[in-house]
Amino acid sequence: MRSVSRRSVLVGSVVVAGGSVLGACTGSSSKGGGGGADASAGSGSSASASTPGAAGFRSACSGVEWDLEAGPAVVRDGMTILRLSFSPVSENSASLGTRVFSTSDSSHVIGEIKLLSLAGSAVYPVIGGDAHPLSKSVSPGEGAELFPVFGAVPQDAGTVEAFLPNFGVVAGIPVVGEAEAGFDVAGALSGADPDTSKAGPYSIGSATFAADGSSNTRKDSASTTVTVSGDVTFASDSAELSGQADAVLASAVEQIKRFPSGGGLAITGHTDDVADDAHNQTLSEQRARAVSDRLKQLVDLSKWTVEATGKGEGEPRVPNDSDEHRQVNRRVEIVLTPSNPAEGEGSRAGASPAPAPASPSAGSGQMPQAQGPVGTGADGVDITIDSVAVHVWMEKVTRVGGYLVGELLMRTDSELIIPAMAFGLPGAWDGLGGQWMGLGYSVVSNLTLLSGDTHYLEAYYMPGPDTLRPLANAFTPAVKSGQVPARFPAVWPDTGQDAVVLDLPGGKAMVHHDTLRLRLTDIPVVEG
């Protein structure tokens, strides 16, 4: 595998949408990607940038190799302008195509480009930019320049990262003054038509999920929510704590200890729709009080304002239309709103403080049985998708700014259209709030890191109160036979390990297809 410099970290990606394949990275190259060094490496290779202040690298999409430059980034008029340059490596002209960076519903041609500050734990969605260069046919040696616009990053940010769908996550992009830009900043802004109403920044959150379903934890910059299963924490149809309750509540206890200054603690009980409204309301209140009373015995809550309430069946997480969904709805949610959120932040050597990942959700501590083939990250595994043999592997993840960045790689000898929802989370994981699954079934959302019995889900941000967006691709083109491997990137909270396990947990995702199931072990963590 080619080395990737500290200055330029690439994570390539791919995309799936609504059961159909949408064209991205169109081109006429007959030689791009098929036999290049990048094809066997399984990772974008670093390259020297011809423009000062740019991070250069080589990647490919749908069989066309490209030399790319990202940077610099310039802040002006309350916005950040990022320079991107693309040049085909092949002997023939090629165009990127208008779907390469688009949203899954094609409402915004470059809507999936994101500017990241992993050190600052922030996401800046694209808010404008002229997409015309994407449809331009570019000759070898030429460069098509694109200038997406984002909200203003801090002037002292130093460097930022860019998430480029179908190409990768690029780290080490310098933030420079306008005099050092090397391009016409005012001209780039003049045709950008920015919409600053959703400029952000949005904080990056983390989520963990116990493999046995006993609890899950979500954490962002302002609050932490620990959800415990009513079926595990209590006896059936009772507010009496079970023998497993203390182990399940351990996640909440650990989170509370992170904030010695205290804050607000809201404990809310919820039920399914079995039994009548009055019974369910009373049961939910009793369970909330039972959790509150037990937490006071397990940890010092003297500096916390505690409120225990019940919602009965009135706020289901998912519809009460199956036994599985009713189990999800039987829960107690513990929401911590600390008075000093900075107390819960962690830091990594060489990185600015970033929010600590959600604590492992309590469980047995033993790794759950794999639901599909198991292999090391380097060796990979063979799976079958719609009767097509596919080799899948992951050589490494890279630590950047308190997060882990990596890519799942996929190669096949036959062109493959990956069905919608193949990368969806199991339906039982709707306990995270239903917001994850509500993104659309084509989002690559099931690339989890597994530590013990805890799944670390992809890092995410929330552009709206009911919208959760994993830092992953939203849709993907076909996997081309004999071409550069398709890349499925993701950003995760840093688990603090020297090697990680990637687990695709599987589960029934829709009527016609199951989600992908596999596990890759011994994936080294390298410093970015």
Instruction: Look at residue 474 in the predicted model and tell me its pLDDT.
Output: 79
As a whole number of angstroms, the distance between CA 173 and CA 161 comes to: 6
Instruction: Look at residue 365 in the predicted model and tell me its pLDDT.
Output: 64
Nearest Cα to 262, choosing from 300, 225, 288, 222?
A: 300
- Backbone angle region of 434, left / alpha / beta, with phi > 0 → left and psi within -120 to 50 → alpha: left
How far apart, in Å, are the Cα atoms of 147 and each of 81, 88, 520?
6, 18, 37
Instruction: Look at residue 134 in the predicted model and tell me its pLDDT.
Output: 82
Dmax over CA atoms of the chain, in Å, equals 73
Query: Residue 524, preceding bond cis, omega within 30 degrees?
Result: no
Counting DSSP H helices and E strands in the chain, the numbers are 6, 31
Instruction: Look at residue 49 in the predicted model and tell me its pLDDT.
Output: 61
Q: How many CB atoms lie within 10 A of CB 185?
A: 20
> For the domain bounded by 213-355, which CATH number is listed?
3.30.1330.60
How far apart, in Å, are the Cα atoms of 1 and each of 38, 41, 132, 502, 510?
9, 5, 35, 19, 36
Domain ranges of the chain: 37-203, 213-355, 374-527
Owner of token pair 């009965």: 312
pLDDT mean for each 10 residues of the chain (528 residues): 36 32 39 31 50 75 79 94 90 81 70 92 93 84 90 91 85 92 92 89 91 87 90 92 93 93 97 94 97 97 97 90 86 95 59 48 71 96 91 94 90 83 73 48 81 91 81 77 78 94 78 77 94
Tokens of 195: 């919409």
Tokens of 149: 């616009």
Q: Is 482 exposed, middle or buried (0-12, 13-18, 19+ CB in 10 A)?
A: middle
Please tell me if the domain spanning 213-355 has the same topology as the one spanning 374-527.
no
Instruction: Look at residue 289 in the predicted model and tell me its pLDDT.
Output: 97
> For the domain bounded by 374-527, which CATH number is listed?
2.60.40
pTM, entire model: 0.84
Q: How many CB atoms lie within 10 A of CB 79?
A: 21
